[in-house]
Amino acid sequence: MLFVITVSILAASAQAKFYTDCGSKLSQVESVGVNGCSDNAKECILKRNTNATISIVFTPTQDVKSLETEVHGVIMNLPVPFPLPQPDACKDNGLSCPLKANEQVSYKTSMQVLKSYPKVKVDVKWELKNENGDDVVCVLIPAKIQ
């Protein structure tokens, strides 16, 4: 019995991810990558005055005409928008819209972590929304700004 419990715990930790899906209604998120963050990390370290690069591999479950990126830092349940130089996810981010249903795609972009940002723990909510404002992708990434 102890062996079964140990194997179950090891299998669960092997599947551990540093992010959680927060409502990707119109896709299956395959993987998320953030520079300087490993799958078994409790939080990602975002260094001020640098760029954070994020990549998301996902498969839309229906055709998508266009995608807009919205990023919020959630501190004490209060979402604070992070400005992005290019909110159109289909421009300069590896995506060519329209996206076809059931075809895996890869999104990759960078976000500036400004020196003026406070040194705090924050959940980064990264959303890719379709032309109707529905979440195609929504991931929550625990982070610490240093």
Q: What's the domain count of the chain?
A: 1
Residue 86 domain boundaries: 18-145
pLDDT value of residue 36: 72
pLDDT tens, residue order, the chain (146 aa): 333 333 333 333 334 588 999 999 899 999 999 987 877 778 899 999 999 999 999 999 999 999 999 999 998 889 999 888 889 999 999 999 999 999 999 999 998 888 998 899 999 999 999 999 999 999 999 999 99
Residue 70 lies in a domain: yes
Q: Tell me what pLDDT residue 16 has.
A: 56
Instruction: Tell me, yes or no, whether 116 lies in a domain.
Output: yes
- The CATH code of the domain that includes 103 is 2.60.40.770
Quick check: is 24 in a domain? yes
In a domain, 94, yes or no: yes
Tell me whether residue 118 is in a domain.
yes
Strand partners, 20: 140
Q: What is the pLDDT of residue 85?
A: 82
Do residues 18 and 37 make contact, with C-beta atoms less than 8 angstroms apart? yes
Residue 85 lies in a domain: yes
Residue 44 lies in a domain: yes
| Helix H or strand E segment including 4 | helix 2-14
DSSP codes of every residue in 18-38: S-EES--TTEEEEEEEETT--
pLDDT at 40: 76
Q: Within a domain: residue 86?
A: yes
Separation in Å, CA 78 to CA 81, 103, 118, 125: 10, 35, 15, 11
